[in-house]
Chain A
């Protein structure tokens, strides 16, 4: 028994539970595939299934990672500083540029998220189905999305400004008598 398990591990590359649980997963998937294969639109479903992964992994991720790198370069936050800061952490001043970077990142990510999730409404897709379902005309929410985006950036900017003012006030205060 033990020998058989060792042989499974050596050839297959993992234990019996690994094999069993994955086989179960593929049995369900296979059963679904057989059932759906009869549909005229089965090919489109497969395309959307694989396409969703490709769009996320090979388009969305590279794009937002690249935008972030460009943003970092634009704001002036170096990826790798020349030398580590020798001062103890409490004495280290949080670089203003880094704070600025994050105060741009945060509303940008929020706006991007809202755009992705509410995409059909923002772009006004499906006007006919919308009319049939609601008895009203679909008005694209692009303006609303831009307004929310503006509000997010505004809040972020105000918080950034307040932090910056407070930091300056703290720095100008004379240190404790020594």
Chain B
């Protein structure tokens, strides 16, 4: 493929003339540091080349937008219009404001399950892609023009971005906050740095990917065994090694290896989103572990002990305070149980990707709104007995208050809520992020103005 081929797009020409200042690039080119020769001729894999890189690239081009979009949707699910999504102030780096829907009830379960699940499953593809292009890192001269310097800088953002997102995400879902900074801030802004670099990379490299994929028909390549596998012809990017070894696996094998790794991770991850015996398949994840027996035997997100809830706060002295239109109403637990009870089977899904579906019983939020004298609220502000923590309060949108399945739940699976599940009462709303389904509810403020 000639370097001037229009099909290569406008990528900085890796082999052509120097840009300005020419003397600098020429001098750099001539002064090769010791060892560069050994490294550049030392690459041995006959599989490295534009075709294999493009196959891995295509897999990421299909999956990464899904991970990015579901990530942004998860931010939107926290109703950032109420200032309760983290990070707090993101300027214009977010989706336009919209009311997060309550239907389908599994919406957040799906978006967040996809975000975390796909994020894990693409790890082998990312590693395979990086393996396929690693010779580029040791190119000499590192650049021949300002264009190449800028492009390499954007690649640092691209590679740093994806590795940073994977590392912080994996540590977060496994409760290892070893990084010492705020996860939300880092993961959200890291995503934007990565996305910007990804867009630039795709714009510059898409034509090259298409050319490379067309250069070897996929069907024929997937039928080629190891013995017949030959190196690709030399490419302008220098991915194909100068002195390749004989192959030890076919390209088909290399693709199967990465795909197999993804399948292995999928098998060990999907369990955290399903109930029943399959859950135990998430054998190496926190949410695949046995949550105990009985009606309250399902995963929690914050223990009563960690939330500082004392038994005295939740005993017979507990009162629910409803506010609305300048009025205050207080209810005790028998009072709530005397109201019309509604039962709904709803998933509760965590931003960490795990979810579980249970049968909840309690008073409809819209009944409580009517009782408080605000039958048509624009929002409801729920506060917990918790004394600290980011999620001791949450504001619900109008649609989330008025949905017929939105409950102040008192019971689950036919039994009273346990203390760890939010006894004496907790919020459960279809498609609402788990941490906004406030536990140990102390008060609800139904608002008529935003």
A residues lining the B interface (CB < 8 Å): 10-19, 21-22, 24-26, 28-29, 31-32, 35-36, 39, 41, 44-45, 48-50, 52-53, 55-57, 61, 72, 77, 79-81, 89, 92, 94, 98, 101-102, 106, 109-110, 113-114, 116-122, 125-126, 129-136, 138, 141, 144-145, 148
Q: Report A-chain residues with C-beta under 8 Å of the C-beta of B289.
A: 134, 136
A117 with B123: CB separation less than 8 A? yes
Can you name the residue of chain B whose Cβ is closest to the Cβ of A19?
B147
Interface of A is mostly: helix
B95 to chain A, nearest CB (A): 15
Q: Report A-chain residues with C-beta under 8 Å of the C-beta of B226.
A: 94
From A102, A114, A134, A138, contact of B264 by CB (8 A)? A114
Q: Report B-chain residues with C-beta under 8 Å of the C-beta of A26.
A: 150, 153-154
Total interface residues on B, CB under 8 Å, equals 93
- Whether a CB of chain A sits under 8 angstroms from the CB of B11 is yes
A125 with B283: CB separation less than 8 A? no
Q: Report A-chain residues with C-beta under 8 Å of the C-beta of B177.
A: 126, 129
- Whether a CB of chain A sits under 8 angstroms from the CB of B346 is no
B68 to chain A, nearest CB (A): 13
A105 to chain B, nearest CB (A): 8
- Whether a CB of chain A sits under 8 angstroms from the CB of B340 is no
From B44, B134, B196, B286, contact of A24 by CB (8 A)? B196
- Whether a CB of chain A sits under 8 angstroms from the CB of B160 is yes
B391 to chain A, nearest CB (A): 12
- Whether a CB of chain A sits under 8 angstroms from the CB of B311 is no
Give Cα A21–Cα B150 distance, bound, in whole angstroms.
11
Q: Report A-chain residues with C-beta under 8 Å of the C-beta of B18.
A: 13
From B89, B170, B245, contact of A117 by CB (8 A)? B170
Complex interface bits, B138-172 against A, C-beta within 8 A gives 1, otherwise 0: 00000011111011011011011101100110110
A13 with B146: CB separation less than 8 A? yes
Give Cα A126–Cα B140 distance, bound, in whole angstroms.
43
- Kindly list 17 other residue pairs between chains A and B, CB separation below 8 angstroms, not including A14-B148, A28-B195, A129-B176: A13-B13, A14-B10, A18-B12, A18-B204, A29-B193, A29-B196, A44-B181, A48-B167, A53-B156, A53-B163, A56-B159, A77-B248, A109-B257, A114-B268, A118-B174, A119-B174, A136-B289
- Whether a CB of chain A sits under 8 angstroms from the CB of B330 is no
B179 with A110: CB separation less than 8 A? no
From A25, A45, A98, contact of B154 by CB (8 A)? A25
A89 with B303: CB separation less than 8 A? no
Q: Can you name 16 A-B pairs with beta carbons within 8 Å?
A: A14-B11, A14-B148, A15-B10, A18-B10, A45-B190, A49-B164, A118-B268, A119-B174, A120-B175, A121-B284, A125-B176, A126-B178, A133-B301, A133-B303, A133-B306, A141-B284
B residues lining the A interface (CB < 8 Å): 9-13, 17-20, 44, 89-91, 93, 120, 123-124, 127, 130-131, 134, 137, 144-148, 150-151, 153-154, 156-157, 159-161, 163-164, 167-168, 170-171, 174-182, 185-186, 189-190, 192-193, 195-197, 199-200, 203-204, 226-228, 245-246, 248-249, 253, 257, 260-261, 264-265, 268, 283-286, 289, 291, 299-306, 420
A25 with B157: CB separation less than 8 A? yes
From B145, B151, B420, contact of A22 by CB (8 A)? B151
Give Cα A155–Cα B248 distance, bound, in whole angstroms.
20
Can you name the residue of chain B whose Cβ is closest to the Cβ of A14?
B147
From B186, B286, B291, contact of A45 by CB (8 A)? B186
Q: A45-B181, A48-B167, A135-B305 are in contact. Are A28 and B175 (CB under 8 A)?
A: no
Q: A13-B148, A134-B300, A141-B284 are in contact. Are A21 and B199 (CB under 8 A)?
A: yes
Q: Report B-chain residues with C-beta under 8 Å of the C-beta of A57.
A: 130, 134, 137, 159
Q: Report B-chain residues with C-beta under 8 Å of the C-beta of A36.
A: 185, 189
